[in-house]
């Protein structure tokens, strides 16, 4: 006779133990606090990123941030506070990424404009020097 039982009584015991712990596990999930601060931070980040420039230069990233914030709001409504916290954090990061990308596009464009102006000035000076 084996020392470790693998028969129906062991399976029943394991199932009973898991069933007994399930309310505790569910209670642990339900007891996550509402992510009020993280939601407010995400709201502010998305609002700050929601500009004409960001819409034009990083529209896909901005839309992703908005969608994740909407999903976080829905998770709060469903009392899935852990999911809401996670989505709010993602929305905040996506909003910051959109702002950074839009700033990068604007900076590259400004650098290109400066180079174009310098080139035009150089060409104009070269033409005047030849006269």
Q: Domain residue spans in the chain? A: 34-130
Angle between helices 59-77 and 81-130 (to 10 degrees): 170
Q: Write down the pTM of the prediction.
A: 0.67
d(CA 34, CA 81): 5
The number of residues in the chain equals: 131
Q: Which pLDDT tens digit goes with each residue over 89-129?
A: 999 999 999 999 999 999 999 899 899 999 999 988 888 88
Q: Assess contact for 82 and 32: CB atoms under 8 A.
A: yes
d(CA 80, CA 5): 39
pLDDT at 30: 55
34-130 CATH fold? Substrate Binding Domain Of Dnak; Chain:A; Domain 2 (1.20.1270)
Name the phi and psi angles at 91, rounded to 5. Answer: -65, -40
Q: Which pLDDT tens digit goes with each residue over 27-57?
A: 445 578 999 999 999 999 999 999 999 999 9
């Amino acid at each position: 006779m084996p020392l470790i039982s693998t028969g129906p009584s062991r399976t029943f015991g394991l199932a009973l133990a898991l069933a007994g712990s399930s309310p505790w596990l569910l209670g642990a999930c339900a007891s996550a606090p509402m992510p009020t601060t993280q939601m407010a931070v995400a709201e502010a980040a998305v609002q700050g990123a929601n500009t004409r420039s960001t819409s034009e230069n990083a529209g896909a990233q901005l839309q992703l941030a908005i969608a994740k914030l909407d999903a976080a709001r829905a998770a709060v409504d469903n009392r899935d506070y852990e999911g809401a916290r996670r989505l709010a954090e993602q929305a905040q990061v996506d909003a910051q990424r959109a702002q950074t990308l839009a700033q990068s596009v604007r900076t590259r464009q400004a650098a290109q404009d400066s180079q174009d102006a310098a080139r035009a000035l150089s060409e104009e000076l070269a033409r005047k020097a030849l006269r």
